[in-house]
Chain A
Amino acid sequence: MHKYLPHTASDIKAMLDKIGIKTIDELFVALGDIKLTKPLDIPSQMSENELRDHFEMLASKNKNLLSFCGLGSYESYDFSIIDALTSRQEFLTSYTPYQPEVSQGTLQYIFEFQSYVCELTGMDIANASMYDGASSTAEAIFMAVAATRKNKVLLSKTINPYVLEVVETYCKYRDLDIEYVLEKDFSFDLEDLKKKLNNDVACFVAQTPNVYGILEDYSKVKETLEETGTLFIINQEPSSLALFKAPSEYNADIACGDMQSLGLKRNFGGPSVGYLATISKYQRRLPGRIVGKTVDVEGKRGYVLTLQAREQHIRREKATSNICSNQSLMALTVSIYLSLVGKQGLIELSKRAYNNAHYLEEELLKTKKFKKTTDKPFYQEFVLEYLGDPKVLETKLLALGYLSGYNIKDNLIIFYASEVRTKAEIDEFVKKVGEV
């Protein structure tokens, strides 16, 4: 007997009798030689206490570092009610809401999640979530390719390299041509975009704040793309949207990105959650689940999965995407975080991240070990040129319990100061950097 397996010998006997057979083995006759004759070579069962000890042994081999590195994995305040709510079995142990009458909880929070994504990005319609910001960018490209029937993709070189790696994989196997728009002064180069643009280009994809943390200026992009019928895709870090211009204000056709910064722990990279939103014109190109409001037979407000004719379970190979399970529980987490933080809180938190990053930059420059690289405005990450050996800096800080900035190339280091960092932590870090 095992605690997760309730059948007793008499249960099994009664069930076999009903089926009209003598042994369970008879149910597996079809397997023939394939059926294993020996037990699997895995460890013996563990009790809860043994499991706790085993996990603690593994956990003790991990080192929690004080982080000044972002690059797509951010730190936000942990509010106790988020775990209390997302641990509720009704959210945690339910399936995709195929039976809407007993899934209104999930359907309504997805509707609210879509509302949040639309509100932040200024877009007309969002889906129920994507795996992460990288796959959402790839799927945004597929939408543009399908909408324009063009095969070429222009990507800004200032997009996070970990996003680019995924986008390159997706595009390669879809037989799409990728070309990069070069960077100029740590931002995408508009002149290079103009040079590379032609009638075969389905979309131009850019990121703001970009990999260097810099807020890119897209005021001339849409008009540039119009002549060739090229769509504009913006990947934007959502915590920046309370303060800074949204994809809609740059007339983007599609907005995408990763929402980990809004209340999700770093968790060694996942689970995160991606968002994908667009203007009404392309609503039928969206991949994945979309929840819409409706009424029941008594006229009561309710929510259902809608526009399902786009999806794999109906359209099979003609679907807009293969996505089925997404990151629903993470969409819930982000929604709870945004509800709790509210309008003023979101503005305040992004101002704090902005101020912390600017303070860190100012203090790091005072050590005389760095050179400022650009005067472009930045948000919560920034890039400096280190005058020593970045590897030495990284190693020495690691020994002191710090995850230093990200050495993207040559002597360039991208630093990040989350809203969670205190002045004392920043001061101490800068002091240690100065001592290297």
Chain B
Amino acid sequence: MYDKLIFERSKEGRVGITLPKTEVKDYPLPKEHLTKRDLLLPEVSEVDVIRHYTNLSLKNYGVDRGIYPLGSCTMKYNPKINEELSKNPKFNNLHPLQPDVTSQGALELEYNLEKLLNEILGLKAFSFAPCAGAHGELTGLMMIKAYHEKNKDYKRKKILIPDSAHGTNPASVAIAGFEVVNLRSTEEGTVDVEHLKEVLDDEVAGMMLTNPNTAGLYEKDICIITKLVHDAGGLMYYDGANFNALLGLAKPSAMGFDVIHLNLHKTFSTPHGGGGPGVGAVGAGEKLKTFLPNKHVRLENGLYVRRKEKDSIGNVSYFQGNYNVILKAYAYILSMGKENIRNVGEFAVLNANYVKAALEEYYEVPVKGAIMHEVVFNGLKSKKASTLDVAKRLLDYGFHPSTIYFPLLFSQSMMVEPVETESKETIDEFIDALIKIAHEAEKTPELLHDAPHTTPVRRLDEVLAARELKVKYRDLL
């Protein structure tokens, strides 16, 4: 198995590029500014580079290979046409500072996408400046803070967060200069409304909520929750990481949310790229729309222009955020169209309930009733092996495992999100593998414990990695 670093393929004198001739003469370099270091950069040929990265790629699992049922991550198919459309040089070669009159197509596209999302979410305005979900959360929280400050309501320093929330929620709260107040969940796994009533006061700036929540449950008291928070003077933030369940079926605005973020790299099919680039598009209703970050596209006298909103929090990314990614999300919505978009939420939820029904004999379902787009199991019913062992054994069957040990509500969480682009056959194969693993756990638990057996590397020593920290090529020399 190939295991070289690019630095280890280096041979003095090799080159990977051919540059055009230059007719510009050399100008003297400022001696006092020149580096004294001899950089340890690889010297390789073009073929070396192709072989190296192709070999690396073969050690990765991707959506094009099979089901990628990571709960909370919405790993749906990333359409190839969207990639093709995003590579148009007339978009790729735009400088972010070129005048609006010379970038009308790009601005019109952003404007169109905003209008589509306004309709889908029931909101008034969107910004695409945030580069990821957590970045969107931070932006939305800043907007909440700016809103209260504009109303001279300076004592509102607390943000309520259910204990089931994504880890980025409390972290974003801290970065935005707020204080986290944790809300308990009920035994059913939804927000404990009584606890909410206890903690609501005039210091609460708002509440962050994911709906469906991370246990895969629809917050049935959502309208009561948002009313309670609003009555106390707080604002409601919708973490749209799980919006796929409701796409075409419900609008968060109707539930009473004031500001939301959408992960375009989840619900709207843009590829996750091994950890980005994403877009954490932030949408706002009437109360917060003037607080969106710079710059916001508007149509004025037939011209698309970038404007600063009057209460804008300022900018949160260098120029226009991850602009190129929004081309793909726009193409996705247009290719689905009004005829099909509702099926996305429907089939995502159907799939999750099907997986639950097929596996509840073998895996513990810790919540009651219908779930939405993802199903959380609390490990094997038999408890003969841990969730980690089950996940690693799934790798031997050629599947990417589900999210594990999240949500934190259950000790052996396995969170499966079988998205709408997966066929029944694929889901059945995945279910069969999990049933086989449940049987193996009874008869040959060591098979699970030692798994995976067939992957490019086997279980890795994470303790060693942290104890003897080696984070760059020079550390290996």
Partners in one complex: yes
A92 vs B265: C-alpha distance in the bound complex, in angstroms? 11
Is A31 a contact of B319 with CB atoms below 8 Å? Answer: no
Of all chain B residues, the one with the shortest Cβ separation from A46 is B334
| B243 CB to nearest A CB, Å | 13
Whether the pair A267, B323 counts as a contact (CB closer than 8 A) is: yes
Task: Please state if B346 and A24 are interface contacts (CB–CB under 8 Å).
Answer: yes
Q: Which of B41-60 contact A (CB under 8 A)?
A: 41-44, 46, 49-50, 52-54, 56-60
Closest to B112 in A: A58
| A297 engages B27 (CB within 8 Å) | no
Instruction: Confirm or deny: B410 has a beta carbon within 8 angstroms of a beta carbon on chain A.
Output: no
Task: Provide the bound-state CA to CA distance between A314 and B353, in Å.
Answer: 29
Tell me whether A95 and B275 are in contact in the complex, defined as CB-CB below 8 angstroms, given that A4-B79, A45-B335, A377-B30 are known contacts: yes
Residues of B in contact (CB 8 Å), total 198
> Which residues of A have CB within 8 Å of B78?
92-93
Report A213 CB to chain B, min CB distance, Å.
Answer: 12
Are B321 and A270 closer than 8 Å at their CB atoms? yes
CB neighbours (8 Å) of B65 from chain A are: 89-90
Q: Contact between B70 and A64 (Cβ–Cβ < 8 Å)?
A: no
Contact between A326 and B276, CB atoms less than 8 A apart:
yes
Count how many chain A residues have C-beta atoms less than 8 Å from C-beta atoms of the other chain: 195
Nearest-CB distance from B312 to chain A (Å)?
9
Nearest residue (CB) in B for A169 is B314
How far apart are the CA atoms of A81 and B51 in the complex, in Å?
11
A18-B250 contact in complex given A55-B331, A325-B265, A339-B49, C-beta closer than 8 Å: no
Query: Which stretch, A178-186, A190-198, A221-229, A238-246, touches the partner chain B?
Result: A238-246
- Contacts A7-B424, A99-B395, A343-B41 known; A268 to B96 CB distance under 8 Å? yes
How many whole Å from B257's CB to the nearest CB in chain A?
A: 11
A300 contacts chain B at the CB level, 8 A cutoff:
yes
- Which residues 1-57 of A sit at the B interface, judged by CB distance below 8 A? 2, 4-7, 11-12, 14-16, 18-20, 24, 26-31, 34-36, 39-48, 51-52, 54-57
Name the A residues within 8 Å of B25 (CB-CB).
355, 359
Known A112-B6, A114-B472, A173-B142; judge A245-B34 contact (CB<8 A): yes
List of B residues within 8 angstroms of A166 by Cβ: 314-318
Chain B residue nearest to A67 in the complex (CB): B95
CA of A249 to CA of B39, assembled, Å: 13
Are B324 and A270 closer than 8 Å at their CB atoms?
yes
Residue contact B171 to A81, C-beta cutoff 8 Å: no
> B370 → chain A, closest Cβ, in Å?
5
Shortest Cβ gap from B88 to chain A (Å)? 5
| CB contact under 8 A between A51 and B62, given known A30-B370, A65-B95 | no
The closest CB in chain A to the CB of B138 belongs to A322
Tell me the complex Cα distance, A55–B476, Å.
48
Q: What residues of A have a CB within 8 angstroms of the CB of B83 in the complex? A: 87, 92
Instruction: Tell me if B137 and A322 are in contact (CB < 8 A).
Output: yes
Complex contact B39–A322 (CB within 8 A): no
Q: Is the CB of A344 within 8 A of B167?
A: no
**A430 near B: Cβ within 8 Å?**
no
Report Cα–Cα, A168/B313, bound state, in Å.
10
- B417 smallest CB distance to A (angstroms): 11
Q: Does B102 contact A (CB under 8 A)?
A: yes
Please indicate the chain B residues that have their CB under 8 angstroms from the CB of A210 in the complex.
Answer: none
CB pair A342 B14 closer than 8 Å: yes
A228 to B370, CA, bound (A): 60
Chain B residues with Cβ below 8 Å from A62 are 90-91, 94, 102-106
Does chain A have a CB within 8 A of B249? yes
- In the complex, A403 Cα to B131 Cα: how many Å? 26
Would A46 and B133 be within 8 Å (CB), given that A90-B58, A106-B275, A244-B35 are in contact? no
Are A119 and B102 in touch, CB under 8 angstroms? Answer: no
Contact A169 B97 (CB under 8 A): no
- Chain B residues with Cβ under 8 A from A318's Cβ? 174
Cβ B474 vs Cβ A119 within 8 A: yes
Chain A residues with CB under 8 Å of B174's CB are 317-319, 322
A202 within 8 A of B: no
Task: Indicate if A409 sits at the interface (CB-CB under 8 A).
Answer: no
In Å, the complex CA distance between A133 and B344 comes to: 36
- Kindly identify, within residues 445 to 469 of chain B, every residue whose CB is under 8 Å from any CB belonging to chain A: 450, 452, 455-462, 464-466, 469
Distance to closest chain B CB from A256 (angstroms) = 12
Which partner residue on chain A sits nearest B269 by CB separation?
Answer: A4
| Distance in angstroms between the alpha carbons of A292 and B459 in the assembled complex | 15
A315 at the interface (CB under 8 A from B): yes
- B145 to chain A: which residues have CB within 8 Å? 173
A279 interface contact, C-beta 8 A: no
Stretch at the interface among B193-201, B215-223, B282-290: B215-223
Contact B274 A111 (CB under 8 A): no
Which chain A residues border B315 with CB–CB below 8 Å? 134, 162, 165-166, 169
B132–A324 touching, CB < 8 Å: yes
For A44, give its contact among B23, B52, B57, B337 (CB under 8 Å): B337
Q: Which residues of A contact B313 (CB under 8 A)?
A: 169, 173
Q: Which of B109-136 contact A (CB under 8 A)?
A: 109, 116, 119-120, 131-135
Q: Which of B139-197 contact A (CB under 8 A)?
A: 141-142, 145, 167-168, 170-177, 180
Q: Is residue A230 within 8 Å, beta carbon to beta carbon, of the partner chain? A: no
Report the separation of the CA atoms of residues A282 and B305 in the bound assembly, to the nearest whole angstrom: 43
From B17, B34, B294, B460, A101 is in contact (CB under 8 Å) with: B460
Check A88–B318 contact: CB distance below 8 A: no
Query: In the complex the two chains form, what is the Cα distance from A61 to B120 in whole Å?
Result: 27
B276 adjacent to A129 (CB under 8 Å)? yes
**B354 close to A (CB within 8 Å):** yes
Contact A316 to B395, CB < 8 A, known contacts A93-B272, A166-B315, A423-B22 = no
Give complex CA distance A57, B112 in Å.
13
With A51-B81, A95-B75, A342-B15 known to touch, is A101 a contact of B458 (CB < 8 Å)?
A: yes
Would you list the 10 A-B pairs with minimal beta carbon distance, nearest first?
A269-B319, A45-B337, A269-B96, A329-B273, A169-B314, A61-B105, A328-B275, A312-B171, A322-B171, A377-B30
List 12 other contacts, CB 8 Å, given A135-B135, A162-B319. A11-B423, A30-B369, A40-B338, A59-B105, A91-B57, A93-B271, A270-B317, A270-B320, A293-B465, A316-B170, A324-B167, A339-B53
9 pairs from A and B in contact (CB 8 Å cutoff): A81-B49, A115-B472, A118-B472, A292-B470, A312-B167, A318-B174, A342-B17, A352-B19, A359-B27
